[in-house]
Amino acid sequence: MSVLPRRLRGRAVIPVAGGFLLLLILVAFAAPLVAPHDPTTGDLMRPAQLPSGQHWLGTDSLGRDVLSRIVYGARVALLAALVAVGVAVVIGLPAGLVLGYRGGWADRIVLRAAEGVNAMPFLLVAITFIAVLGPGLFKSMAVVGVVYAVMVLRLVRGETLAAREELYVTGAVVAGASTARILWRHLLPAVAPSLIVLVTTMFATSIVAEATLSYLGLGTQPPDASWGNMLADAQQTAFAHWFPAIPPGVAILVTVLAFNLLGDGLRDAFAREATGSVLDARPPAVTEPDPSLPDEPSTPDAPDTLVAVRGLSVSFPAPGERGRWVPAVTDVSFDIGRGEVVSLVGESGSGKSVTAMALAGLVPAPAVVEARSITFDGRELAGTDARTMRTLRAGSIGVVFQDPLKALNPAFTVGTQLTEGLRVVHGMSTQDARRAAAEWLDRVRIPDATHRLRQYPHEFSGGMAQRVMIAMALSAEPALLIADEPTTALDVTVQGEILDLLRELQEQTGMSLLIITHDQGVVADLAERVLVMYAGELVERGRVADVLTGPRHPYTAGLIASVPRNRRRTGPLPRVRGVVPAAGRWGEGCRFHDRCPFALPACATGTVALHTLDGGASRCLRTGDDLALADPAVWR
Amino acid sequence: MNPPVDPLLSVEDVHVRFARRRRGFWRPRTWHTALSEVSLTIGAGQTVGLVGESGSGKSTLARVVLGLQPRDQGQVRLRGEEVDLTRPDTTRAFRRAVQAVFQDPYGSLNPTMTVATILDEPMRIAGELSTRDRQDRVRELAELVGLTADQLDRYPYQFSGGQRQRIAIARALAPAPDLVVLDEPVSALDVSIQSQVIDLLERIQATTGVSYLFIAHDLAVVRHISHRIAVMYRGRIVEEGKADQVCDEPSHPYTRLLLASALDADPTTSARRRERRRGLARAFADEFGAHT
Amino acid sequence: MLRVVLTRILLVVPLIIVVSTVAFFLGALSPIDPADSILGPDPTQAQVDAVHAQLGLDRPVTTQFFEWAGGAVTGDLGASLFSHEPVTDLLARALPVTLSLTLGGLLISLLLGLPVGIFSALRAGRLGDRIATGAVTFWQAVPNFWLALLLILFFAVNLGWFPAVGYTPISEGVGDWLRGITLPSLALGVSAGAVVARQTRSALIGVLQQEYVRTAMAQGLSRRRVVGKYALRNAAVPVVTVVAFEVAGLFGGSIVVERMFSMRGFGTVAIDAVLRRDPDVVQGVIVVAAAVMLVVQLLLDLSYAWFNPKVRLS
């Protein structure tokens, strides 16, 4: 709950709408003091007058002061809403919590009934019950409350059901917490945010409901003033005197608007909506060389270069802070040769995936991608437009993602998705595309291809779905395949098969392969060269055989040392001290210095350049010093 | 290395099956067997590693041990006595004796509670200590897992994944349990953080004598912390033995395949390992049918 | 697929029975005595008893129920106590009015809500979205019966483009029918359209965050194709859900709006019956409304199966 004030900052709508409603409550409470006239007795000699100094909002057909009736109407509206919402919460909240937590047949029956009630026209349900109870404001609003209770129940039950699966609730059960404790301490706080939002908007709908019922003669009875029956009165004479129809309508409108705005503001405060999407991914922009940065060698590190990246940076807007940008990747340069298998390795937050996605133009907006230069097959991409990036993805770059079951669209058959690119982008006929798709499924060794094309993604196992993804990425015969953690979501025994398949297809097609992974084993198994990233920058690059057996950056060495190996254990496990810094919180100096056992005082200041070495490079001040990087004792 | 130990908790011949969703209103119900003839013993002060892939039943077994999963057959015994969670007195003792740490360090801490409240809750539930004693113990636990005193008033979202997992471990230890079930406790963590957490767990075991049931899909990780290892496949324990023995001389074809499937960060041996893996996968498929 | 349809249709039958039963007993429990309306003020007990005997209200409630239910099965829902017209005839005249308004309102809400929702989602967080969302919030707050009044005053009374009151059956000319239902449909559809717009916006924004959208982009498909062919269909399920709820809301909302336009639809019949206590009419209204809503639910379930293949298979 203490997170709230931080989130409320910078949301003007909450204080404005809330302030108005407070004022309204105050006015309603003090109606006898505020209202200039008696709301129920009118001056029959002065009916249907336009606004004047004496009657600011004029008089109605019976000569009653409209402003006074609006003020008293506010009282009725708010009280009525309070009754309805109160009844709804008192019944719906506990019932929803208990049903959601306990489940079982009672839950199923109540839920069916609730769905039935909610599927009925709300007004008709209310009118049916009013038929039993008879008309009258509080009876009517209690009925409205019962119908709303069903909505509260459904929401609370749903949220409880979701929260019940949270591990912290399981943890509380394991610790022996009583049901009451779990409901009160763990589930109620989880349900509260969406309940508060629903309750706020329910005040709005209650006010409309009160006005509607009073308009129909089922709620507030004349001569008492309600915004609804004021409208009914005004309607009688509206053709002659239209003005009295305006104030009650505006009163309802403004009040409902205030409640809705408050609800929206609260909802945004509780759950920040992700608005950026990959649809609007921006192509890389050009940056001028930064003179403050050390001059970086721009000689290619791959023989026959397909991709050359120079000075790539990516920044995201800081969540909740307008105008502040957080760097995710800074000044990354590398090459990928034709037919080469390169691995980009790093831990979470290293920026490895962002780097690869930037290459394909798939970093979701509003992130900003910049580079001094990115060439692909001789074409400059820095400063290009979104259309060029799309053409590139359509033909030259294929992408395989981490979780194949999320990466495939659940609403379309595998065949539709696999043939889409072939048909739309490459202009094949539907039949040709289906034949090509079936051939590709054969090539990735999915048996019974023509039948599988008609199936949906959820009918595939993880390994099989990843094969479909690979077929989809390769069907346009790209020059570069980017595989982003292609085996991380799969079982160990399936992992090898997918890596085998990638290797085999790479050899057959001669494409370049950029494989992003956190697993040194994948690097060793598949790649020729490796790029190591830490905290948004490249810290080491070189041939896999060199880097994995003789790392030159302390981070690489620590990472390799801490990989668990299937060997008989001797002594404590090697590890790297400290924690991976959060994006953008990298501080001065070498970004690894506070975790590094070899750090010198100089490591904490300035920026560290990438030192080129034979066949590779290392971003370490102590490059060239004779460090015992591989000594296990250093990493204990 | 493994002196004879008293059994702390034992699982005896447990069967669990789940009803599948009916394919149609008129079709008969079909069942999925999650656990079949599963028996396992965890000794006092011992770590038993439980290895298997997704769908092998290892998480269901964890839920059985934690008393969260009803069994169709079989028993769970704590110190030789049958655990009956319908009786309040045995439930109370069992809930204090067996705690858990889960895989996801982001979902396992209540986001609306401070760290101090989170650590205090299990002791408050156990109801054995005074408020003052509990406060002392919270500070003690924080120190044990490497949290500073001022971090106690913070909320979970202010910590990194590795730190949260330390908090989760501290919470599990709060009521001084005899057994902690660790369900993939390091799988979601970065490699450089994993060994920190494993090291912490080992130090705690050395000082408190707590037992662990350590569940993971990575045999290499399990090997380093476990005294004994059980390998699960399709709801059964297919192999069980001393950690080094299971890893060095696996007897079941599945264990062999699992070991061969784990990648090694040594590029010089990868081609040889690959051949070995393919051979074992073929042999396994011939005997047990296609794996995927 | 056919099996799913048959199962759902079979499930509707018991629901209708339950709703009818509840409707009958609610009517029977009502404290309002029809004798009061028939006899006027201060009747003698003998007069009341005579009326009760005449109406059959002196018999046990269960007997009354079985008699009513027996009639209902054969399509006889009884008759109004006041006009003595058969309930089925009464409702057969009223239902087209309400259905016209409901469908008109639905059409308006979709025409208004879908484009605005899609526009907003595609510009989420930017100026266009903020303006559109602001407009939606505003028009959602306009009460439909007040809007009806303003529309009458402006378009009917002032400009004379549409009739201010009354309903022309479609059989008497499509043009007149359309002119008659335009204003009430607008009054109904506008705030419902706001709900559709909101739901469309949030559903589409949610879908655009999904990884499969990135996959579609990675294939080099155009923005238009990714949204038009894929994302909209993924976003359809929550939108269809809210539309189904809106149909119920529009059906209920037409009760007020038809009164505003002096149309004798379902709502007017219902309210008159409630205020005078005309039990057979009240029960008839509930049973027929429930049947309409169950048909809507059935259509909803079927469209889920269409949009979400997982449902179709299980």
Q: Mean of the per-residue pLDDT values for chain A?
A: 88
Q: What is the percent of chain A where pLDDT is above 90? A: 53
All partners of chain B with 3 or more CB pairs under 8 angstroms: A, C
Q: Is the pLDDT of residue B94 over 90?
A: yes
Query: How close A440 gets to chain C, by Cα (Å)?
Result: 15
Cβ atoms of residues A183 and A159 within 8 Å = no
Domain architecture of chain C: domains with CATH = 88-276 (1.10.3720.10)
Using a CB–CB cutoff of 8 Å, tell me whether A359 touches chain C. no
All partners of chain C with 3 or more CB pairs under 8 angstroms: A, B
Domain count, chain B: 2
Query: How close C129 gets to chain A, by Cα (Å)?
Result: 10
pLDDT attached to residue A302: 64
Print the domain residue range for B189: 7-21+29-112+177-250
Q: With an 8 Å Cβ cutoff, are C3 and B23 in contact?
A: no
For A195-209, the pLDDT digits (tens) are 998 999 899 999 999
Q: With an 8 Å Cβ cutoff, are B264 and A566 in contact?
A: yes
Q: With an 8 Å Cβ cutoff, are B23 and C314 in contact?
A: yes
Query: How close A302 gets to chain B, by Cα (Å)?
Result: 20
pLDDT attached to residue B289: 73
Domain residue limits, chain A: 12-33+72-271, 548-565+572-635
Using a CB–CB cutoff of 8 Å, tell me whether B125 touches chain A. yes
- Which of C212, C225, C286, C296 should be substituted to probe chain A, the one whose Cβ sees the most A Cβ atoms within 10 Å? C212
Question: Is B162 a member of any domain?
Answer: no
For C211-227, the pLDDT digits (tens) are 999 999 999 999 999 99
pLDDT attached to residue C275: 75
- Which of A1, A7, A174, A345 should be substituted to probe chain B, the one whose Cβ sees the most B Cβ atoms within 10 Å? A174
Q: With an 8 Å Cβ cutoff, are C213 and A231 in contact?
A: no
Question: Is B132 a member of any domain?
Answer: no
Whether residues B260 and B238 share a domain: the answer is: no
Distance CA(A492)–CA(A337), nearest Å, equals 30
Question: Is B59 a member of any domain?
Answer: yes
Q: Mean of the per-residue pLDDT values for chain C?
A: 84
All partners of chain A with 3 or more CB pairs under 8 angstroms: B, C
Q: Which residues in chain B have Cβ-Cβ distances shorter than 8 Å to C311?
A: none
Q: Work out the pLDDT band at B3, boundaries 50, 70, 90.
A: very low
pLDDT attached to residue A296: 53
A-to-C residue pairs, Cβ atoms closer than 8 angstroms: 234
Question: Is B269 a member of any domain?
Answer: yes
Whether residues B207 and B281 share a domain: the answer is: no
Q: Is the pLDDT of residue B185 over 80?
A: yes
Q: Per the CATH hierarchy, to which homologous superfamily does domain A12-33+72-271 belong?
A: MetI-like (1.10.3720.10)
Query: Cα separations (Å) of C88 from A391, B54, B150, C85, C170?
Result: 64, 60, 75, 9, 20
Q: With an 8 Å Cβ cutoff, are A524 and B248 in contact?
A: no
Q: Which residues in chain A have Cβ-Cβ distances shorter than 8 Å to B164?
A: none
Query: How close C124 gets to chain A, by Cα (Å)?
Result: 5
Distance CA(C252)–CA(C112), nearest Å, equals 20
Of the two residues B286 and B25, the one the predictor is more confident about is B286
Whether residues B212 and B282 share a domain: the answer is: no
Using a CB–CB cutoff of 8 Å, tell me whether B245 touches chain A. no
For C19-48, the pLDDT digits (tens) are 778 777 777 776 667 777 677 777 788 888
Distance CA(C208)–CA(C206), nearest Å, equals 5
Q: Work out the pLDDT band at C311, boundaries 50, 70, 90.
A: low
Find the range with the poorest average confidence among A36-45, A325-334, B231-240, B279-288.
A36-45
Q: With an 8 Å Cβ cutoff, are B224 and A464 in contact?
A: no
Q: What average pLDDT score do residues A212-231 get?
A: 87
Cβ atoms of residues A486 and A463 within 8 Å = no
Name the DSSP class of A328: E
Of the two residues A295 and A236, the one the predictor is more confident about is A236
Q: Work out the pLDDT band at A244, boundaries 50, 70, 90.
A: confident
Whether residues B258 and B246 share a domain: the answer is: no
Question: Is B87 a member of any domain?
Answer: yes
Cβ atoms of residues C288 and C89 within 8 Å = no
Q: Work out the pLDDT band at A12, boundaries 50, 70, 90.
A: confident
pLDDT attached to residue A2: 42
Whether residues B289 and B182 share a domain: the answer is: no
Question: Is B171 a member of any domain?
Answer: no
Question: Is B257 a member of any domain?
Answer: yes
Q: Is A513 helix (H, G, I), strand (E, B) or coil?
A: strand
Dihedral through CA B66, CA B69, CA B74, CA B76, nearest 10? 10
Which ipTM did the prediction report? Answer: 0.89
For A560-619, the pLDDT digits (tens) are 888 888 888 877 888 888 888 888 788 889 999 999 999 999 999 888 888 888 888 999
pTM of the model: 0.87
Q: Is the pLDDT of residue A255 over 90?
A: yes
pLDDT attached to residue B1: 41
pLDDT attached to residue C162: 82
Q: Mean of the per-residue pLDDT values for chain B?
A: 89
Q: Which residues in chain C have Cβ-Cβ distances shorter than 8 Å to A409?
A: 212, 215-216, 230, 234
Using a CB–CB cutoff of 8 Å, tell me whether B23 touches chain C. yes
A90 CB neighbour count, 10 Å cutoff? 13
Q: Is the pLDDT of residue A80 over 90?
A: yes
Cβ atoms of residues A355 and A542 within 8 Å = no
Query: Cα separations (Å) of A260 from A203, B4, C166?
Result: 9, 68, 34
Q: Is the pLDDT of residue B214 over 60?
A: yes
Q: What average pLDDT score do residues B200-214 get?
A: 95
Q: What is the percent of chain C where pLDDT is above 70? A: 94
Q: Work out the pLDDT band at B2, boundaries 50, 70, 90.
A: very low
List all residues of chain A from 498 to 527 with a beta carbon under 8 Å from chain C. Answer: none
How is residue B171 written in tokens?
A: 């919470």
List all residues of chain B from 95 to 114 with a beta carbon under 8 Å from chain A. Answer: 95-96, 98-100, 102, 104, 107-113
Distance CA(B29)–CA(A297), nearest Å, equals 68
Query: According to the 3-state scheme, what is the secondary structure of A391-432?
Result: HHHHHCEEEECCCHHHHCCCCCCHHHHHHHHHHHHCCCCHHH
Whether residues B245 and B190 share a domain: the answer is: yes
For A256-305, the pLDDT digits (tens) are 999 999 988 888 877 766 667 888 888 899 887 665 555 455 556 667 89
